[in-house]
Amino acid sequence: MDVKEKILVVIDLLSKNYPEAKCALIYNSPLQLLICARLSAQCTDKRVNLVTPALFSRFQTIEDFALADVDEVANYIKPCGLYKVKSQSIVQMCRRIIESFNGRIPKDIKNLSSLPGIGRKTANLVLGEIYGKPGIIVDTHFARVTKRLGFHKLKDPAKIEYLMKEIVPEDESIAFCHRVVLHGREICRARRPLCQYCTLKKVCNYYNGL
Ligand code: SF4
Boundaries of every domain in the chain = 3-22+135-203, 30-131
Whole-model pTM over 0.85: yes
Specify the pLDDT at position 91: 98
Which CATH class, in words, describes the domain spanning 30-131? mainly alpha
Any catalytic annotation for residue 139? yes
Shortest-distance atom of ligand 1 to CA 193:
7
Ligand 1 center from residue 192 Cα (angstroms): 10
Specify the pLDDT at position 85: 97
- DSSP class of residue 20 equals T
Q: Which of 6, 142, 204 to mutate to test the pocket of ligand 1 (most atoms within 8 A of CB)?
A: 204
Specify the pLDDT at position 196: 97
Burial class (CB in 10 A: 0-12, 13-18, 19+), 153: exposed
Burial class (CB in 10 A: 0-12, 13-18, 19+), 104: exposed
Question: Quick check: 34 and 122 in contact, CB under 8 A?
Answer: yes
207 lines ligand 1 (CB under 6 A): yes
Ligand 1 center from residue 189 Cα (angstroms): 8
101 lines ligand 1 (CB under 6 A): no
Specify the pLDDT at position 1: 86
Ligand 1 center from residue 4 Cα (angstroms): 19
Profile the chain (210 residues) by mean pLDDT over runs of 10 residues: 95 96 91 96 94 98 98 97 96 98 96 95 94 94 98 97 97 96 96 97 96
Shortest-distance atom of ligand 1 to CA 184:
8
50-56: Cβ within 8 A, 24+ apart: 50/79, 51/76, 51/77, 51/78, 51/79, 51/80, 52/26, 52/27, 56/28, 56/32
Which CATH entry fits the domain spanning 3-22+135-203: 2.40.110.10, 3.60.15.10, 3.90.1150.10, 1.10.1670.10? 1.10.1670.10
Specify the pLDDT at position 165: 96
Question: Quick check: 54 and 64 in contact, CB under 8 A?
Answer: no
59 lines ligand 1 (CB under 6 A): no
Specify the pLDDT at position 21: 79
